[in-house]
Amino acid sequence: MADRFIEPLGLLEGPAAFFSARDGLALPLQGGHLAFALARLIEDGAARGIVAVRDIPGDWQDLLPALVRRPPPFAGIEAGRPLVMGIVNVTPDSFSGDGLAADTAAAIARGHAMLAAGADILDIGGESTRPGAAPVTPAEEIRRILPVVRDLARAAPVSVDTRHAATMAAALEAGAAIVNDVTALRHDGAAPGVVAGAAAPVVLMHMPGTDPRGMQAEARYADVVLEVAGFLRDRVEALERLGIPRGRIALDPGIGFGKTMAHNLALLERLPILAGLGCHILVGLSRKRFLGRIAGIPDAGQRMVPSIAGAAFAASRGAGILRVHDVAETVQALAIWRAAATGAAPDPLTV
């Protein structure tokens, strides 16, 4: 069977998207406020041409439902806009300088402050995944995060950022609702069973290999976008066979994980291709090194402005979840983007 993708092109927003879709000149992207008027047909890694959506051949039509249907609410959150996932690093060696491993109270306070600023989800991690970071045992990871998870899970949906099945199980038992695994449930053979057994939503990320320490040495792709899309499609299909439906899956292209700057930018520009997998799309680029290189900001902690710009661009390309450090500023920026894109100011109580 041929390996096929439909890549949405010619994205439209606001009234242009509405009227073009109404008149059959465009199709909605995952049932949202974005629409696409053109499509690149890709078969076995080669582009077969760009066509108007009304001219997509009949034998390609089976790929359209996943592109145009809205995925089920992720973790039960009904928002009608991109969700903001605030990062709470309970580590001593976070790349962005915000790790709080030695101060549980400060980590909890940071989470509550993010919720007050508009975060929809809190992502709590106890092991740094920056290039070259030392691995952490599940026991130490659990020790770091469990008090934070228990407290914050009473206030909002909590995601546990881990690649260890034991940590997933402990966090879910403590109240976490979501598993976020940078290895797409490949590092620990018991992880898919934990997620399936708990019926938990899960974030699957692309990373070459399963060890963050060596990932940058594997940043080699013929076409990074197609290889990432193919990897994530294969993981979704494999996990569906294990009892994890795609309605509970979000997909993360892994910006900065085994990627060069050119790879990161290509994944952002061509992000809509992932919509064809029928899952929510999560993008985490906050404070990443490539943003610093572009903006000339070597200090990760000073990269708020480029991070917000990147988040807004990802949202304009179909990202449904944005994983960020600077919650208040991101929420504000997204409110302006949404108002400008749709022509209507949002209710300040719902942004």
**What are the structure tokens assigned to 348, written together?**
């300040």
Nearest to 102 by CA among 92, 88, 113: 92
**Known catalytic membership, residue 288:** yes
Helix 304-316 crosses helix 261-269 at what angle (to 10 degrees)?
Answer: 40
Burial grade of 24 (CB within 10 A; 0-12, 13-18, 19 or more):
exposed
Do the beta carbons of residue 42 and residue 226 sit within 8 Å?
A: yes
Of residues 81, 248, 323, 338, which has the active-site annotation? 323
**What are the structure tokens assigned to 74, written together?**
């992720």
Which DSSP symbol is given to 83? E
Strands (E), 191-265: 202-205, 249-252
CA distance 186 to 195: 12
**Known catalytic membership, residue 259:** no
CA distance 83 to 192: 25
Of residues 287, 288, 317, 338, which has the active-site annotation? 288
Residue 18, helix vs strand vs coil = helix
Burial grade of 235 (CB within 10 A; 0-12, 13-18, 19 or more):
buried
Nearest to 99 by CA among 134, 72, 52: 134
The letter for the amino acid at 191 is: A
CA distance 348 to 351: 6
Do the beta carbons of residue 105 and residue 62 sit within 8 Å?
A: no
CA 302 to chain CA mean position, Å: 22
CA distance 160 to 180: 6
Tokens 């199980």 correspond to: 169
> Which positions are catalytic?
288, 323
